[in-house]
Each structure stands twice: as C-alpha cells, then as structure tokens.
C-alpha cells in the first residue's frame, strides 16, 4: 500500500496555464443564518429536527456562519491562490415558500454581495443552483416526486440568472442527482428522508428534466453562460471473475453512472436498466428525453472513490452489494483512496460519452484531524490525498481527457449532512465553538502548489 502521507512530485506548471483551480462549498453546509434575510425553511432544516437523522444531532442552523463571515472566507480562497470559487444558492433564500411569484429581495441581495466579493478578490464565481436545499413548502407538495417542482426549479434558475448573470458566467444546474434521488428518497439517509425506490426514480427523472429545461432559461438570461451539471461518478468493478459478479457490476454501473450519463448524452435511459426496473421505472413524457439531452458546455464530475460490486440475489433494489476490499487504504469515512480510479473514471467517461469539457467540481477527503497545542493541524493524509489526486488529474490530461479544472472539496470544514460535524473535509479547519478558521497543512500545501 502507498504510504498514506507520501507526496508525489507535482507542480502547477505541469498543467496548461488556463487550467482552473478552485474550491467548492455548498449553501446549507456552510451558511447558517437559516432564519435571517427572509430565508424560508428547507428540507434539511426539517430533516435535522428528527432525532436519529443526524449522527451528532446537529444541523446547519449555524454551520460555519458563512452568512456573516463570507468576506473572511473569500479572503481565504483568494489567499490560497485559487482562480474560482464554487458555491451554491439556497433556493429558500430566493423563494422562501417555494412560490415563484414571491421572490425574496434580501436573499438575492445576499448572493449579489457574495458574487461581488468574489470578483473583487479575483475569484471566478461558479454557481450551483441545487445542492440539496429544497424549500420545505415544495416538499409539502411532494418535492421532486411532483412534476410541478420542475417548473419551480426553472423559475428559480431564471431569477437567479437574471439577478446574477451579469457577473456569474458559470452555472451548474444540479449537484449529484444520484444523492438527491437515492440518499434522499430511497435510503432515507438524506432529506427528505423517504424510503421508496420507485419514488426515488421518479424524483430523479424530474431532477434531470429540470436540468434540461433550466438550460434555455439560463442561456436566455445570460447569453455567454457556460452551463453544466455535476454528477457523482464511480469507477465500478466486479468482486470476482465470475459471470454473476460481472453482471452485478454492470447493473450497479447502470444505476450509479449510466442512468445519468446516457440520457444526458442523448441516449435515453439505458435499456438494460429499464428492463431491470420493470414497473418501477419512472413515468416520463414525450419530450423529456430531448430536454434532458439539451447540450451543455461542460460536465462536472465529483470523484471520491471506486466501488467493487458482487452479485447479491434478493438484496437491495437491483440485487447487488458493494463489498469491502481488505488491505485497501481508506479515509476516515471508510471510502477507499484511489487516485488511479479517478483516471480510469475520467478516461471511461471520455471514451464512452466524449463531453466537450470536463471539470472535477469536487474531490476531497475526511480524516480525524488533531489540533496541536499551538493550534495547527498537520493533516498529512489529506495533504497527500490532495496531491495524489491532482497528480492523477495531470495523468488524465496526458491521456487525452479534456479536463479543464479542479475544485477541492472543501474550502472549509462544514456540516457533512447525516454525519453532522463529525466528518471534516476542509482545507481550512473551523472551530465551531469560536468560528475561528485555521488553514491546515493540506491548505498550505494547496496554496504553495498554486503559487508555483
């Protein structure tokens, strides 16, 4: 096994000068201020109230208090030497009760100030519209399982673009639709906490349609916009050489990866998966496939780990099981560490789908950080993880992948969904009691790397 702290030789100069470097965050995970500026309730506010949903019984009510401390956070991003900052827009700040006829000026003003702050610091704003914080009022009407949410999302995209589009040129419609659908509607691990596979597939379809229908609205408001979607993708391999495991790996890949990549690239939902789903397949309308396939300017990929899959008759929705590999290096989340898996994934996406441009919109790791008596955090494993994945990005470019940028997840430690504040992914440590920010060794490494 590679020494988890070993650093590869890698320099910024190994990438073309225009390669984009950034950090990512999301609204619910960092903002706090959930009762301020006229913000409405989100499905995550409600989900966190239910005991047992969040490991440490916390919520994003305060989080990193970014709602008030954003100038300091943008200073950190600037000082790292990044050229771009990926953030998300909390839908309930814009439409507090979900009703597109009742926008909230204070919410729009908050993001307007935030975007100005980015530009003042030389950070290119990359806005994600949906990073999971749906207005609770829309959930009360069925949320993503209700087709009406598609139109509400388009109205949200339209207003966000008309307000910010003079300054924001890069737009991501959705972050990780698999998580929205499966974690939120099939596994019950994320808001809204449903456990209904059929509902998850229907929600997923509406998310994809909303992506497609939002694109013309974004382009109409921002003619020079670059628009894409961000998927969480995994390289998948069979647990053994058996035909059963090979078929299981294909099924798993079908639902994890191809279910999104195929329709987005004009092929409709994969036939083998549709057959497998049978009566559980989502209801669709005639023009949906064309809408989902609306051409984009780039594909965003969030890469974290590969999966090894075995046949598991009678288990789960599609009779597959992700098996734990022994002797594999892992993060504190238990996620296998595999920079080479990232290269495999990027090459596969290129070979099978050939998107015009690819951005790694998230990549990062969680480890059990220890704050030293002098306040420093020597997170050598995260530092190595970052460096090794950046080296893998270089390898992918060398193999012909049109990879144009890399965003580290995350600028700050933050609210890690069902894990609460137990898991830290930041390049910057956040002391939640004092809200003090401290750049970790990983952040210092990224800064030094970026300063060449």
- In what helix (H) or strand (E) does residue 111 lie, and over which residues does it extend? helix 105-120
Site for ligand IFM in 340-359 (CB under 6 A): none
Q: Cβ of residue 29: shortest distance to ligand IFM, in angstroms?
A: 6
Is 324 among the catalytic positions?
Answer: no
DSSP letter (8 states) at residue 326: T
For the CB of residue 416, give the shortest distance to ligand IFM in the complex, in Å: 5
Q: Does 133 bind ligand IFM (CB under 6 A)?
A: no
Min. distance of Cβ 414 from ligand IFM in angstroms?
A: 7
Cα within 13 Å of Cα(22), Cβ side:
26
E strands present in 1-88:
20-24, 84-88
- Contact track, ligand IFM, 284-323, x by CB under 6 A: ------------------x---------------------
What is the pattern of x (binds ligand IFM, CB under 6 A) and - over residues 390-429? -------------------x------x--------x----
Among 362, 369, 379, 413, binds ligand IFM (CB under 6 A): 362
CB nearer to ligand IFM: pick between 231 and 401: 231
Q: What's the min distance (Å) between Cβ of 423 and ligand IFM?
A: 7
CB 304, min distance to ligand IFM, A: 6
Q: Which of 15, 20, 22, 26 binds ligand IFM (CB under 6 A)?
A: 26
For Cα atoms 372, 377, 383, give the angle at the middle one, nearest 5 degrees.
Answer: 150
Angle 411-94-157 (CA atoms, 0-180°, nearest 5)?
80
Q: In terms of CB distance, is 176 or 311 closer to ligand IFM?
A: 176
CA–CA separation, 329 and 5 (whole Å): 11
The DSSP code for 319 is S
Q: How far is the CB of 255 from ligand IFM (least distance, A)?
A: 18
Annotated catalytic residue within 176, 187, 307, 416: 176
Q: Which of 118, 121, 225 is nearest to 169 (CA)?
A: 225
Burial of 26-38, coded b for 16+ CB within 10 Å and e otherwise, reads bbbbbbbbbeebb
User: DSSP E strands: which ranges in 350-435?
Assistant: 358-362, 403-409, 428-431
Q: Smallest gap, in angstroms, from Cβ of residue 52 to ligand IFM?
A: 20
Residue 342 · residue 363 · CB < 8 Å: yes
Q: Which of 31, 41, 307, 362 is catalytic?
A: 362
91 φ, ψ (degrees, to nearest 5):
-55, -45
Distance CA 358, CA 351 (A): 13
Tell which residue, 82, 93, 75, 170, has the closest CA to residue 134: 93
Taking the least distance from each CB to ligand IFM, the nearer of 86 and 219 is 86
- Select the residue interacting with ligand IFM from 152, 176, 253, 369 (CB under 6 A): 176
Number of residues that bind ligand IFM (CB under 6 A): 8
Nearer to ligand IFM, 29 or 145 (CB): 29
Q: Min. distance of Cβ 334 from ligand IFM in angstroms?
A: 12
DSSP 194: -
**Considering beta carbons, is residue 89 or 310 the nearer one to ligand IFM?**
89
Q: Say whether residue 87 binds ligand IFM (CB under 6 A).
A: no
DSSP 145-190: GSTHHHHHHHHHHHHHHHHHTTT--EEEEEE-HHIIIIIIIIS-SS
Give me the helices (H) in 293-423, please. 339-353, 380-398
Give the residue with the Cβ less far from ligand IFM, 234 or 252.
Answer: 234
Residue with smaller CB distance to ligand IFM, 266 or 334: 334
Is residue 95 near ligand IFM by the rule CB under 6 A? no
> Rounded to an integer, what distance in angstroms lies between the CA atom of residue 143 and that of residue 185?
10
Q: Is-contact 349 313, C-beta < 8 A?
A: no
132 vs 445, beta carbon nearer ligand IFM? 132
What does the block give as tokens for 395? 């390898």
Catalytic sites, residue numbers: 176, 362
Using CB under 6 A, list all residues that contact ligand IFM. Answer: 26, 29, 176, 302, 362, 409, 416, 425
């Amino acid at each position: 096994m590679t020494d988890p702290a070993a650093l590869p030789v890698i320099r910024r100069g190994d990438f073309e000068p225009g390669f984009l470097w950034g950090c990512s965050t999301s609204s619910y995970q960092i903002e706090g201020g959930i009762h301020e500026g006229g913000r409405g309730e989100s499905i995550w506010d409600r989900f966190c109230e239910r005991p047992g949903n969040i490991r440490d019984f916390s919520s994003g009510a305060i989080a990193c208090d970014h709602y008030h401390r954003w100038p300091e956070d943008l200073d950190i991003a600037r000082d790292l030497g990044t050229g771009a900052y990926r953030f998300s827009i909390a839908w309930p700040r814009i439409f507090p009760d979900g009703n597109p006829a009742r926008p909230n000026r204070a919410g729009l003003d908050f993001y307007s100030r935030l975007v100005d702050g980015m530009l003042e610091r030389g950070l290119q704003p990359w806005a994600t519209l949906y990073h999971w914080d749906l207005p609770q009022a829309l959930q009360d009407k069925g949320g993503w399982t209700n087709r009406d949410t598609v139109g509400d999302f388009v109205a949200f995209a339209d207003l966000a673009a008309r307000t910010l589009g003079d300054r924001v040129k890069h737009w991501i419609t959705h972050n990780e639709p698999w998580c929205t659908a499966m974690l939120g509607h099939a596994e019950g691990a994320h808001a809204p906490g449903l456990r209904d596979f059929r509902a998850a597939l229907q929600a997923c379809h509406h998310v994809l349609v909303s992506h497609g229908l939002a694109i013309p609205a974004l382009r109409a408001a921002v003619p020079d916009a670059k628009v894409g979607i961000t998927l969480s993708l995994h390289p998948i391999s069979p647990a053994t050489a058996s035909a059963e495991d090979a078929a299981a790996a294909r099924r798993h890949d079908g639902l994890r990866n191809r279910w999104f990549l195929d329709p987005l690239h004009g092929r409709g939902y994969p036939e083998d998966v549709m057959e497998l789903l049978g009566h559980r397949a989502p209801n669709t309308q005639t023009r949906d496939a064309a809408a989902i396939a609306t051409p984009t300017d780039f594909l965003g990929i969030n890469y974290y780990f590969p999966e090894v899959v075995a046949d598991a008759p009678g288990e789960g929705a599609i009779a597959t099981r992700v098996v734990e590999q022994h002797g594999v290096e892992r993060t504190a989340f238990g996620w296998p560490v595999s920079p080479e898996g990232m290269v495999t994934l990027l090459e596969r996406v290129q070979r099978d789908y050939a998107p015009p441009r690819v951005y790694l919109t998230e990549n990062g790791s969680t480890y059990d950080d220890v704050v030293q008596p002098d306040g420093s955090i020597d997170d050598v494993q995260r530092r190595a993880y970052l460096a090794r994945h950046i080296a893998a990005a270089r390898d992918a470019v060398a193999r012909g992948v049109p990879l144009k940028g890399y965003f580290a997840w995350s600028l700050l430690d933050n609210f890690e969904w069902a894990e609460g504040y137990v898991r830290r992914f930041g390049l910057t440590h956040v002391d939640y009691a004092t809200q003090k920010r401290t750049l970790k060794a990983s952040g210092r490494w990224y800064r030094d790397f970026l300063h060449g």
